[in-house]
């Protein structure tokens, strides 16, 4: 007997998490899969390019929700999933991360009485002012299988009384890094193409609404980067580019030491992280990928759910604070080498094995 897994994804980080899980499912004869893309990320480089580069199966459905407000996004996904669930009759729904698509998929599965697995469950920032925190709480409140990337995540769930079907699988993003070593090595050509010297540039990302919606915060981050006295490679998220233009901050990135670009592929991103002096980021993905590659990172968000990366000295929280960013940049040193707090690169295989065992006993 085979079981149908229905994945719900909506953005670039979801696709990164989906890729190794999808590959593991392809190698499991008891499972088949259907991918639903909500269209939360609709920019070609933020979505279609990643699907092609990572060799993912084409989504069977695209809900095309676009960049509307959170309630409209969630409502649209809920409505459209009803017909898809009825047509596909999945045995399990898998959601990823902490976006509006994640929360909507979780609610839809629960209301349809379909078992739900949450990849990257248990992470908490304990601040309901953060939209992603609400999505985490909503999703984990109805999850049946908790696939947790860190020991801290397991502890968080235990505090909430969730101990059944909680699995510390490690982070699926690490699986993809391990599986892509050859492609990442080839992508090192991006350094020479942009006159970057290994260990002598900063890789920067900035996309969180908390930073891009505020001129003061975005300006502080960009001004701090200018005072680091290193070459900056900055692939600009569409939301961030719009904010930079709106706030008239283009003069801060139109400088000789800045290399700006459209969003880039996964392999190129990993090559840049791996070879950077440090990363300057508000991305949870880049935070943990810096940890994977043993590259220090300064986090321009006010906190992170990836606590192990902080405790082991690889990542440092500065927030959108110019003086703190500069202070940390002046004292960057490597953290504790050799730790594997985010797993061993086998998370996706563990997840598939757990799913098969769970469905076989239902």
Domain co-membership, 60 together with 151: yes
Residue 55 confidence class, pLDDT cut points 50, 70, 90: very high
- 337 found inside a domain: no
Which residues lie below 8 Å from residue 185, measured CB to CB, with a gap of 6+? 271
What was the pLDDT predicted at 47? 63
Residues 132, 143: Cα–Cα separation, whole Å: 16
pTM of the model: 0.92
Q: Compute how many other C-beta atoms are within 10 angstroms of the C-beta atom of residue 105.
A: 29
Report how far apart, in Å, the C-alpha atoms of 176 and of each of 95, 188, 208, 264, 349 are. Answer: 17, 17, 23, 16, 12
- The whole-number pLDDT of residue 49 equals 77
Q: How far apart are CA 238 and CA 216, in angstroms?
A: 19
Q: Does 164 map to a domain?
A: yes
**Cα separation, 340 vs 264, whole angstroms:** 27
Q: Confirm if 21 and 94 have CB atoms less than 8 A apart.
A: yes
Q: Which residues of 16-48 are buried (b: 16+ CB within 10 A; e: fewer)?
A: bbbbbbbbbbeebeebebbbbbbbbbbbebbbb
Could you tell me if 110 and 201 lie in one domain?
A: no
Q: Which of 27, 7, 4 is nearest to 17 (CA)?
A: 7
Q: Is 258 exposed, middle or buried (0-12, 13-18, 19+ CB in 10 A)?
A: middle
Q: What is the pLDDT of residues 62-114, one digit of tens each?
A: 998 887 788 999 999 999 999 999 999 999 999 999 999 999 999 999 999 99
Single out the residue of 199, 264, 267 nearest to residue 234, CA to CA: 264
For 6-25, what is each residue's pLDDT tens digit? Answer: 999 998 899 999 999 999 99
Helix (H, G, I), strand (E, B) or coil at 358: helix
Q: Are residues 135 and 237 in the same domain?
A: no
pLDDT range class, residue 41, cuts 50, 70, 90: low
Task: Give domain status of residue 66, yes or no.
Answer: yes
Phi, psi of 265 (to 5 degrees): -75, 170
Q: Does 178 map to a domain?
A: no
Mean pLDDT of 153-165: 97
Q: Say if residue 138 is in the same domain as residue 200.
A: no
Domain identity same for 194 and 283: yes
User: Has residue 44 got a pLDDT over 60?
Assistant: no
CATH number, domain at 154? Answer: 3.40.50.2000
C-beta neighbour count of 149 within 10 angstroms: 28
> Two tokens at 150?
């860190």
Question: Is 33 a domain residue?
Answer: yes
| Interval 257-284: pLDDT, tens | 999 999 999 999 999 999 999 999 999 9
Shared domain for 75 and 50, answered yes or no, is: yes
For 41, the 3-state DSSP assignment is coil
Query: Both 94 and 167 in a single domain?
Result: yes
- Joined together, the tokens standing for residue 253 give 């990135």
**Closest listed residue to residue 124, CA positions, set 110, 114, 138, 112:** 138
Assigned domain for 41 exists: yes
Q: Are residues 154 and 50 in the same domain?
A: yes
One domain for residues 87 and 167: yes
Question: In whole angstroms, what is the distance from residue 85 CA to residue 82 CA?
Answer: 5
Domain assignment present for 338: no
Residue 180 is assigned to a structural domain of this protein: no
Co-location of 71 and 132 in the same domain: yes
Per-residue model confidence (pLDDT) at position 288: 94
Q: What is the pLDDT of residues 202-246, one digit of tens each?
A: 999 999 888 999 999 999 999 999 999 899 999 999 889 999 999
The residue range of the domain holding 79 is: 3-171+343-360
Catalytic residue ranges: 207
Stated length of the chain:
362
Count up the domains in the chain and report the number.
2
Paired with 33 in beta bridges are: 5
Indicate if 156 and 249 belong to the same structural domain: no
Shared domain check, 127 and 72: yes
Burial class (CB in 10 A: 0-12, 13-18, 19+), 244: buried
């Amino acid at each position: 007997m085979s079981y149908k897994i229905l994945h719900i994804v909506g953005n670039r980080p979801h696709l990164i998490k989906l890729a190794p899980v999808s590959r593991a499912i392809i190698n499991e004869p008891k499972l088949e899969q259907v991918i639903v893309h909500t269209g939360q990320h609709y920019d070609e480089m933020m979505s279609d390019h990643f699907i092609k580069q990572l060799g993912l199966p084409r989504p069977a459905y695209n809900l095309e929700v676009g960049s509307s407000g959170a309630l409209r996004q969630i409502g649209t996904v809920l409505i459209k999933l009803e017909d898809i669930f009825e047509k596909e009759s999945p045995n399990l729904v898998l959601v990823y991360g902490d976006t509006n698509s994640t929360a909507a998929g979780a609610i839809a599965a629960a209301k349809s009485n379909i078992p739900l697995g949450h990849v990257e469950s248990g992470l908490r920032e304990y601040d309901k002012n953060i939209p992603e925190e609400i999505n985490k709480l909503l999703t984990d409140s109805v999850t049946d299988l908790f696939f947790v990337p860190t020991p801290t995540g397991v502890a968080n769930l235990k505090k909430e009384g969730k101990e059944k079907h909680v699995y510390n699988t490690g982070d699926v993003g690490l699986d993809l890094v391990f599986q892509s070593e050859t492609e990442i090595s080839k992508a090192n050509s991006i350094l020479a193409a942009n006159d970057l010297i290994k260990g002598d540039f900063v890789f920067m990302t900035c996309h969180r609404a908390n930073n891009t919606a505020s001129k003061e915060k975005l300006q502080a981050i960009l001004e701090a980067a200018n005072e680091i006295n290193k070459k900056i490679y900055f692939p600009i998220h569409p939301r961030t580019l719009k904010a930079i233009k709106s706030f008239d901050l283009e003069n801060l990135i139109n400088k000789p030491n800045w290399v700006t670009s459209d969003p880039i592929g996964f392999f190129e991103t990993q090559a840049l992280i791996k070879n950077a002096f440090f990363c300057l980021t508000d991305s949870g993905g880049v935070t943990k990928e810096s940890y994977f590659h043993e590259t220090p990172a300064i986090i321009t968000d006010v906190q992170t759910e990836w606590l192990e990366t902080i405790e082991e000295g690889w990542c440092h929280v500065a927030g959108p604070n110019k003086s703190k960013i500069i202070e940390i940049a002046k004292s960057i040193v490597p953290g504790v080498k050799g730790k594997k707090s985010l797993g061993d690169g086998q998370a996706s295989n563990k997840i598939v094995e757990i799913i098969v065992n769970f469905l076989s006993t239902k």
